Structure 1
Amino acid sequence: MLYPITVEVLHQVFSPHGYVEKIVTFQKSAGFQALIQFQSRQSAVSARNSLQGRNIYDGCCQLDIQFSNLEELQVNYNNERSRDFTNPSLPSEQKGRPSSQPGYGDAGVGFPQMNNAAAIAAAFGGGLPPGISGTNDRCTVLASNLNPDRIDEDKLFNLFSLYGNIVRIKLLRNKPDHALVQMGDGFQAELAVHFLKGATLFGKRLEVNFSKHPNITMGAETHEYLNSNLNRFNRNAAKNYRYCCSPTKMIHLSTLPQDITEEEIVSHLEEHGSIVNSKLFEMNAKKQALVMFENEEQATEALVCKHASSLGDSMIRISFSQLQTI
């Protein structure tokens, strides 16, 4: 950095877009980073849309802004590196300890970007899945060899949202079997590439690679999912990371109606393939189900077509299950 970037500087840059509640800054191997908490989600979206790619100072300190999976920042001190604007009475440093960032870079708090591989590894039980580097910073992936007669943006959303939040999706009209998918961050993109490469959907073997485009620009043919309440990683991100896997024969259904029957579930899904077995059960007073198809392709089709569909008075949620038998 050629010029200092402090909490005050960041507050000056971001506060025109809404009330900034908290700021935490820290140094990582990838460079200087900050977490900024707004009072409202709308303000955070406005700030990102307006400031992404802009420079803090003329000709330097370009902003690269991603949304965090953290629901709340914990700020212990008000100083030049961290600030809780809702609690001005916080001390400037811990008594008897030199002033240093108490935070997020050292403690392994769940910072969602993959610069903090340790936090994400913790979600996977202490180590990243084999084949995952945790160092990718490219957020956009290119999916190709799609079935153009059967695929659409919402079906791609249902599949890719298993591995992270979706920002935008664009089907390429000049290449109807290609689509760009912009994930919430580089780690989520890496998970999607790793787990979906070679998966079969609608009779086609998918090819999934990182795109040369850093993001998808808004346009008439771009579908925006940034604010979709169907994004799975807005809550319980660590739990969702643990469930990431390649497509399996078994799908797990949740948010089912309380009065649902196993026959109704089978009827809702059987158009997508041969159902080998199914089981309806209750956990934490909520109805859930497991459905096993004859093969992974049938289960994948059921997931992309029926996730977020209505069953009774409920919008159901579908994920792959790593269980081998019911």
Structure 2
Amino acid sequence: MSHSTPATANGNNSKEFKGDQFPCSPSRVLHIRKIPNEVTEAEVISLGLPFGKVTNLLMLKAKSQAFLEMASEEEAVTMVNYYTPVTPHLRSQPVYIQYSNHRELKTDTLPNQARVQTALHAVNSGGLSNEGSLLHGQSPVLRIIVENLFYPVTLEVLYQIFSKFGTVLKIITFTKNNQFQALLQYADPINAYHAKMALDGQNIYNACCTLRIEFSKLTSLNVKYNNDKSRDFTRFDLPSGDGQPSLDPTMAAAFGAPGLISSPYTGTSGFAHTVSFPQAAGLSVSAVPGALAPLAITTSAISGRMAIPGIAGNPGNSVLLVSNLNPDAITPHGLFILFGVYGDVHRVKILFNKKENALVQMADATQAQLAMCHLNGQRLHGRVLRVALSRHQTVQLPREGHEDQGLTKDYSNSPLHRFKKPGSKNFLNIFPPSATLHLSNIPPSVTENDLKSLFENSGSTVNAFKFFQKDRKMALIQLGSVEEAILALIDLHNTELGESHHLRVSFSKSTI
């Protein structure tokens, strides 16, 4: 049977779908699959807008598919090249784009095309920089300020979060008035609108890195360099600059950026777990060269610039220096349990000659940052804790035959790690220390009085107690102070309560 079988009316002939391969030759008509039911014509058109003029559209809602026609084959190729490593999303659902067997769309005689023509006219009459776009006069560019920046926020992190709301075209990051800021351009103003509505005021991490978002007066960004400060995701041919990208003078005037931030930490290893938003799909960098192979792109386009730097890069430092400890009261186990609320502690070393100081090695840099963010400045055994990143990369265990009085402990295989399972619910329940503790894994035979007595006997003042209505295995207990709660958590987490139940203790976000 010949390979030139014409495509069926919807382009869905079986040849086209063998293992998601691309039809042999590029076409200016693109076939888009898995489109969510409620998506509008304008939203589908917005996928093509960044790459050129969209000349036609055929929506096949019953099949969750669409055909999008670009003005030229070159524009279609650019679009497919862009969306191969970076899966586009519509209404937070991934959609899949490939070349169609059709060379053009003939839709004049089809019903329902009037809406398409209206949408195309609305978009193309203004393009990206128009004032009368889909949301009247609203720019597709957001200005983002990150407040309470305990944790370095990278361009990749912003890309990951904001991609959930639509196609991110360009990002420029900079520091102004001692604040980390960014300008981020979407393909469509509607994406910018949804992202602002959903993300303004949210924390990237619990209790820190708060997003403040407003619409920018700029309607388009001009990015000169692709590096860790600025990126144009539609152009892989831009130079990386010399590490200090200078801004276009008109852009610089627009927001008076004196210089761009140099982030000390470029890794986002482990990041997705603690983000309060679902992780953006399509960031698997290793797959990029392979995915691009069938498209025969010139090698200069794949010369490594497509790999999003930092995603799989240096994971940063995971060792914390904890100082101002009370040497008479502190133990490696106590630090293991307390820091274990914010990540999996692998090793703890109380310094032999200076027992007010300890090193705590976490599973990764993200968890170290999280523990530092939440525990620095808290009171423990009557002292105010100081927590900072250590210059050490690992905590050394004592050499064979050298006893260090039990001051160094290896917990890397501890059964008490809270975050062993990827995607564990514990990642969603990380809160700052508070006087109210969340108790779980309580066996049916244990009463309110049993639990109050347990906490009072360990030295706490119990101010309030409440079982969860729907689930008696869980309860909240409110103690006299945050420091009391910290001490009680160290003391009582994993206490055997009988019936092979061990009490789980964490900080609660709510009070009683």
TM range (shorter): 0.5 to 0.7
CA–CA distance in structure 1, aligned partners of residues 82 and 343 of structure 2: 33
Describe the shift of the 1:287–1:178 C-alpha distance in structure 2 as closer, same or farther (beyond 3 A): same
Aligned length: 227
Match of 1:254 in 2: 440
CA–CA distance in structure 1, aligned partners of residues 363 and 378 of structure 2: 21
Tell me how far 1:127 sits from its aligned partner. Answer: 4.5
Alignment partner of 1:191 is 2:267? no
Match of 2:483 in 1: 297
Alignment partner of 1:275 is 2:462? yes
Tell me how far 1:241 sits from its aligned partner. Answer: 3.0
Root-mean-square deviation over aligned CA pairs: 3.4
CA–CA distance in structure 1, aligned partners of residues 408 and 376 of structure 2: 23
Alignment partner of 1:308 is 2:494? yes
Describe the shift of the 1:142–1:269 C-alpha distance in structure 2 as closer, same or farther (beyond 3 A): same
Alignment partner of 1:147 is 2:334? no
Match of 2:222 in 1: none
Tell me how far 1:103 sits from its aligned partner. Answer: 7.8
Alignment partner of 1:94 is 2:26? no
CA–CA distance in structure 2, aligned partners of residues 102 and 177 of structure 1: 53
CA–CA distance in structure 2, aligned partners of residues 212 and 197 of structure 1: 17
Which moved further from structure 2: 91-100 or 211-220?
A: 91-100
Tell me how far 1:117 sits from its aligned partner. Answer: 3.5
Could you tell me which amino acid in structure 2 is paired with residue 94 of structure 1?
Answer: D
CA–CA distance in structure 2, aligned partners of residues 103 and 217 of structure 1: 40
Which moved further from structure 2: 217-226 or 310-319?
A: 217-226
CA–CA distance in structure 2, aligned partners of residues 191 and 239 of structure 1: 16
Match of 1:319 in 2: 506
Q: Map 1:19-30 onto structure 2 (within 5 A).
A: none
CA–CA distance in structure 2, aligned partners of residues 212 and 152 of structure 1: 22
Looking at both structures, which has the greater relative contact order when contacts are Cα pairs under 8 Å and sequence separation is at least 6? 1
Describe the shift of the 1:298–1:127 C-alpha distance in structure 2 as closer, same or farther (beyond 3 A): closer
Match of 1:128 in 2: 204
Deviations 1:149-194 (A, max 9, x none): 2111111111101111111111111111111111111111001111
Q: Map 1:1-326 onto structure 2 (within 5 A).
A: 94-96=20-22, 117=157, 127-129=203-205, 131-132=208-209, 135=266, 137-219=316-398, 221-235=407-421, 237=423, 239-270=425-456, 271-281=458-468, 283=470, 287-313=473-499, 314-324=501-511, 326=512
Tell me how far 1:280 sits from its aligned partner. Answer: 2.1
Q: Is this contact kept in 2: 1:140–1:210, CA < 8 A? A: yes
CA–CA distance in structure 1, aligned partners of residues 331 and 447 of structure 2: 30
Deviations 1:202-224 (A, max 9, x none): 11110000000011122254311
Report the structure number with the largest CA radius of gyration.
2
CA–CA distance in structure 2, aligned partners of residues 179 and 251 of structure 1: 26
Secondary structure in 2 matching 1:260: coil
Identify unmatched segments of 5+ residues in structure 2: 1-16, 24-79, 93-152, 163-198, 210-262, 268-315
Deviations 1:36-79 (A, max 9, x none): xxxxxxxxxxxxxxxxxxxxxxxxxxxxxxxxxxxxxxxxxxxx
Tell me how far 1:135 sits from its aligned partner. Answer: 4.7
CA–CA distance in structure 1, aligned partners of residues 503 and 388 of structure 2: 29
Tell me how far 1:92 sits from its aligned partner. Answer: 11
Could you tell me which amino acid in structure 2 is paired with residue 179 of structure 1?
Answer: A
Aligned sequence identity (%):
33
Could you tell me which amino acid in structure 2 is paired with residue 257 of structure 1?
Answer: P
Secondary structure in 2 matching 1:311: coil
Using the size of structure 1 for normalisation, the TM-score is 0.61
Could you tell me which amino acid in structure 2 is paired with residue 163 of structure 1?
Answer: Y
CA–CA distance in structure 1, aligned partners of residues 424 and 161 of structure 2: 9
Identify unmatched segments of 5+ residues in structure 1: 1-90, 109-113
CA–CA distance in structure 1, aligned partners of residues 393 and 88 of structure 2: 28
CA–CA distance in structure 1, aligned partners of residues 377 and 363 of structure 2: 22
Q: Is this contact kept in 2: 1:153–1:223, CA < 8 A? A: yes
Moved over 6 A (4+): 97-108, 118-122
Could you tell me which amino acid in structure 2 is paired with residue 293 of structure 1?
Answer: L
Tell me how far 1:94 sits from its aligned partner. Answer: 2.8
Describe the shift of the 1:255–1:94 C-alpha distance in structure 2 as closer, same or farther (beyond 3 A): same
CA–CA distance in structure 2, aligned partners of residues 259 and 127 of structure 1: 39
Tell me how far 1:140 sits from its aligned partner. Answer: 0.3
Match of 1:62 in 2: none
